Structure 1
């Protein structure tokens, strides 16, 4: 398979495919295996794509790639070559000044929403660093970025610490591609000004140039792991940067080194597979069936990973039903919110996150720390299990969905009693063929609940 074919197989219109579960490699390191158990307990992450591109309200990075112009530059007045636009995009650092950024408020909201770990874009493909990198001048703390004088200028440092104080895990998203650094998108090559997702030259033909990029990339990865406290996860994007494509940054050797001082740290090297893709990352989708390996769906709360003006956001009901579907199949949900260019979180996103938190305070026991439980999901009934208990979640997709007084739960195991999770009240049931029939009081509310959760005591 050629480099171009690998690139196109990995990503289509900015959305990654995900690795096949049957090719998953279980890690040999017992501390990584232990950390995977922690990961599978967490269930809910807050993912955040944020950078200077938020000022334009466009998709992050992708409009820089001429090969991706057709889908990524919609709504942008760009000339035929895109050269002027790329210069304007790379100059957004000079106007990025999110003076209303408050990491403590973000962390408070995440805690209220029931978030268990953070996935934050330290650097996307455009190469802009949201931390004080010693290896790049294209960063939030550089003198040509007006935010560099702010007390929270080193955004990653302050954000990670605020979330850690609340017991929320830390994941550092990092793009293996860098479209700003000259050792990747080098000028004066045969490609000219026309750029694509990969380097502007053939790494095999210019090994010294490629080694320069490898050193730069490894230094930045180690810098994040050495200077910014405990990292639970390093989440690597740009799956086309991989040995199979001839773009080998020798990620394994740098992760092994980091684990000597950050033991057990997980590595999500998405779409590459092998021992350094410790969990699989479906994007904007949910697998039809349990995968049997650790996985996490990254799905936007709005319509875009990056901030979009006048965006619309999923309601709490939609997100909770999505979370239940994912958890019943053994996965985690990374719900993505793109912060505004001024540093605040969009009001619609805040409202949804708070609504999620209200539901999880009542029913979180059926979500956090659970594992898959056959038959997983049948119709509008989903199952999870933990500590010898089975949780049956009856789902109501609409506010006006009928709420029956008799509910058939397709659970064929032994059941000694059934209680309601929110109040602990025991409810009567009768065993029948293929499951149990639960008798509920008449529902008097005008709006259907998001879900009713039954605890099946065995």
Structure 2
């Protein structure tokens, strides 16, 4: 397909193609999959009828995440796909290469030629994944201390990283010719970790709409199976869920439900992460069906997890995810934050920079102290190798967790999450706004009657005070978790005073194991 020459002079554009017509072109391109789609939708109806969850929000609010997830604390997210080939800008290259005036558009024309001659589809043969080793990936994630792994099964670009029966545009049939999700599921579970998937397909309804505005391969009906309806997205900003009248057909909703069901049936994920556009009003009747079906299946094996964000669900019907952000205090329900190990992108891009192990360990500690999990993303290269800097950072985190994991895994929040001068900026997309922590910043967790006080810096002079531990908290013993060495302590009116032994190996965060009298 690379370099295909397309006759586009009479192709429809957004100016001539109505939303209804755009959807019909996509429907025609995918009509051959209709029998399988209908069979999957029938599975949903049967699964809902078998309970215990019904397809309504009142019933879905009885959702409860399984214990393994509450205990896991740390997972790995993976953004890997065709967008890893251009490795420019971000994983949204697939959209922005068709948005006139963007750096991605200019880069694409200068590097590959006009989008009428070389479109996104032409990257697929270049996505060979020749060094993809799922067992090596899984071992790395295990050694990093992760307890669950969540690859993106399908990004907004519409290219499935699994063996779908509803599309020919899949990694199993093109590019790598491998069922990436299937191979990863086996490798991850063989390492004793839980396996999830992420679906971003909801946004695909409009993701390539920029290509409707000029002479591009998006307008060629031969490729509608990949590019989708490419409906004109009417929100002023892509993240604006509200006052957005983007056209979404029932056929598209049915296909979204069938594709999600296919992932559930074929890969039995322990967790599904959904990106934000499932909160669009047109999904209000379809979304509860999917949740009821998945929760009913999961109930047979101890429960499953669904991550949602930006108010897409009724509170309590899933697990809240705060994208690239944190919460300012202890959240009563278990929650999750997801962020990328890299600073610029979720997918691999050349010349990217990375967060430090200390920054990520401090983020993990802060999130866990507030009743949350950290889902940390990596972006492998198109050939299937994981950047060396990312590997180094993951292994550094794993080394810290191997020593200090008792203060993280299976813990619960204390009466306060922490103390100290450094304040977190709450909300989504705030992860770059928090200042570095100091030796006066502590975070607290508890487990089996033990209080863990995690100091986010080594104090000058080897002395520190934990002000949140009051005289009424009867301390029995204090030790450094890293090496078990006893810590001299004294309770005073202003808190617990510690005189520390030599600084333990590791420069990230220091855990005091504090035994309290019942």
TM-score by length of 2: 0.71
Counterpart mapping for 1:129-148 below 5 A: 129-142=160-173, 145-148=174-177
Q: How big is the shift at 1:452?
A: 1.8
Change (3 A) 1:367 1:26: farther
Q: Residue by residue, what CA displacement relative to the aligned partner does 1:69-104 show, whole Å, maximum 9, x if unpaired?
A: 66673762449xx98179622322122101100000
**Aligned-partner SS, 1:323:** helix
Q: Could you tell me which of 129, 141, 159 is aligned with 1:128?
A: 159
> In 1, distance between residues paired with 2:246 and 2:419?
55
Counterpart mapping for 1:37-116 below 5 A: 37-58=67-88, 59-61=90-92, 63-64=94-95, 73=104, 76-78=107-109, 84=115, 88-116=119-147
Q: Does the 8 Å contact 1:267/1:276 carry over to 2?
A: no
> In 2, distance between residues paired with 1:290 and 1:203?
33
Gaps of 5+ in 2: 1-56, 209-223, 421-440
Aligned to 2:361: 320
User: Quick check: 1:253 aligned with 2:294?
Assistant: no
Gaps of 5+ in 1: 1-23
**Aligned-partner SS, 2:87:** coil
User: Quick check: 1:382 aligned with 2:443?
Assistant: yes
TM-score by length of 1: 0.80
Q: Could you tell me which of 462, 467, 477 is aligned with 1:405?
A: 462
Q: How big is the shift at 1:184?
A: 8.7
Cα RMSD (Å)? 3.3
Aligned to 1:232: 270
Q: Does the 8 Å contact 2:65/2:305 carry over to 1?
A: no
Aligned to 1:165: 190
Q: Could you tell me which of 360, 369, 380 is aligned with 2:410?
A: 369
Q: Could you tell me which of 440, 450, 458 is aligned with 2:508?
A: 450
User: Quick check: 1:290 aligned with 2:330?
Assistant: yes
Change (3 A) 1:215 1:289: same
Q: Residue by residue, what CA displacement relative to the aligned partner does 1:13-69 show, whole Å, maximum 9, x if unpaired?
A: xxxxxxxxxxx999544xx4251x432211111011010110111322365268976
Q: Does the 8 Å contact 1:278/1:294 carry over to 2?
A: no
Q: Residue by residue, what CA displacement relative to the aligned partner does 1:231-268 show, whole Å, maximum 9, x if unpaired?
A: 1111111x234353x34461211221233333222222
Q: Does the 8 Å contact 2:320/2:335 carry over to 1?
A: yes
May I ask how many residue pairs the two structures share in their alignment? 408
Q: How big is the shift at 1:196?
A: 8.8
Q: Does the 8 Å contact 1:132/1:154 carry over to 2?
A: yes
Change (3 A) 1:355 1:204: closer
Aligned to 2:454: 393
Change (3 A) 1:103 1:120: same
Q: Does the 8 Å contact 1:46/1:110 carry over to 2?
A: yes
Q: Does the 8 Å contact 1:218/1:254 carry over to 2?
A: yes
Q: How big is the shift at 1:146?
A: 3.8
Aligned to 2:213: none
> In 1, distance between residues paired with 2:258 and 2:443?
45
Q: Could you tell me which of 154, 178, 190 is aligned with 2:179?
A: 154
Q: Does the 8 Å contact 1:317/1:450 carry over to 2?
A: yes
Q: How big is the shift at 1:417?
A: 1.4
Q: Does the 8 Å contact 2:97/2:108 carry over to 1?
A: no
Q: Does the 8 Å contact 2:378/2:390 carry over to 1?
A: yes
Q: Does the 8 Å contact 1:65/1:197 carry over to 2?
A: no
Q: Does the 8 Å contact 1:66/1:195 carry over to 2?
A: no
Change (3 A) 1:40 1:250: same
User: Quick check: 1:266 aligned with 2:327?
Assistant: no
Q: Does the 8 Å contact 2:60/2:317 carry over to 1?
A: no
Q: Does the 8 Å contact 1:183/1:213 carry over to 2?
A: no
Q: How big is the shift at 1:361?
A: 0.5
**Aligned-partner SS, 1:280:** strand
Q: Which structure has the greater CA radius of gyration?
A: 2
Change (3 A) 1:261 1:448: closer
Q: Could you tell me which of 260, 279, 302 is aligned with 2:319?
A: 279
Change (3 A) 1:449 1:300: same
> In 2, distance between residues paired with 1:123 and 1:265?
20
Q: Does the 8 Å contact 2:309/2:322 carry over to 1?
A: no
Q: How big is the shift at 1:344?
A: 0.8
Change (3 A) 1:94 1:368: same
Q: How big is the shift at 1:371?
A: 1.3
> In 1, distance between residues paired with 2:139 and 2:289?
36
Q: Does the 8 Å contact 2:453/2:511 carry over to 1?
A: yes
User: Quick check: 1:428 aligned with 2:514?
Assistant: no
Q: Does the 8 Å contact 1:279/1:294 carry over to 2?
A: yes
Aligned to 2:11: none
